[in-house]
Amino acid sequence: MPEKVKILGGYSLPGSIYIYSDRYESTASYSSSENTVTVIVRQTRFAPTHPNSRKPSERNNFWRSIPIFYRIGLLFILGLNILKGAGHYFFPDVISASEAEMNWYIYFIFVMSLLAFVRFFIAKWHGAEHMVIDAYIDTGKCDFESTLRSSPISSNCGGRFVIIMFTVLFVTTIFLPPELRWLNSAAILSIFTWPNLVDRRLCCNRVVGALNWFLQRFFTTAEPGVKELTTAHEAMRGLLEAHEEKLELSRDAYQKTTLSYREPLA
For the chain, which residues make up each domain, given as ranges?
Answer: 68-121+155-220
CA atoms of 10 and 154, how far apart (whole Å): 12
| Alpha carbon distances (Å) from 72 to 109, 200, 250 | 15, 26, 28
Angle at 255 between CA 253 and CA 261, to 5 degrees: 150
The answer to whether the beta carbons of residues 9 and 65 sit under 8 Å apart is yes
Q: pLDDT by residue for the chain (266 residues), tens digit each?
A: 567 888 988 889 999 999 988 889 999 999 999 999 999 999 876 554 433 344 444 444 555 555 555 566 666 666 666 666 666 666 555 555 455 555 666 667 777 888 899 899 999 999 999 999 999 999 998 998 899 999 999 988 877 777 767 777 677 666 766 666 666 666 655 555 444 444 555 555 677 778 888 989 999 999 999 999 999 999 999 999 999 888 877 666 778 888 888 777 87
The predicted pLDDT at position 80 comes to 66
How far is the C-alpha of 188 from the C-alpha of 195, rounded, in Å? Answer: 10
Residue 236 DSSP one-character state: H
Task: Name the DSSP letter for residue 219.
Answer: I
- Please write down the long-range contacts of 139-143, taking CB distance under 8 Å and 24 or more positions apart: 140/4, 142/233, 142/236, 142/237, 142/240
pLDDT of residue 48: 45
Helix, strand, coil percentages for the chain (3-state, nearest 5): 60, 15, 30
- Length of the chain in terms of residues written: 266
Cβ–Cβ < 8 Å for 5, 24 = no
Instruction: State residue 9's pLDDT score.
Output: 84
Question: How confident is the model at residue 8, as a pLDDT?
Answer: 82
pLDDT for 197? 46
23 and 140 Cβ atoms separated by less than 8 Å: no
State whether the Cα torsion 71-77-78-83 is positive or negative: positive
The confidence score (pLDDT) of residue 50 equals 38
Query: pTM here?
Result: 0.79
What pLDDT, on a 0 to 100 scale, did the predictor assign at position 52?
A: 39
pLDDT value of position 51: 37
Query: Which pLDDT score is estimated for 234?
Result: 94
Distance between CA atoms of residues 50 and 101, nearest Å? 48
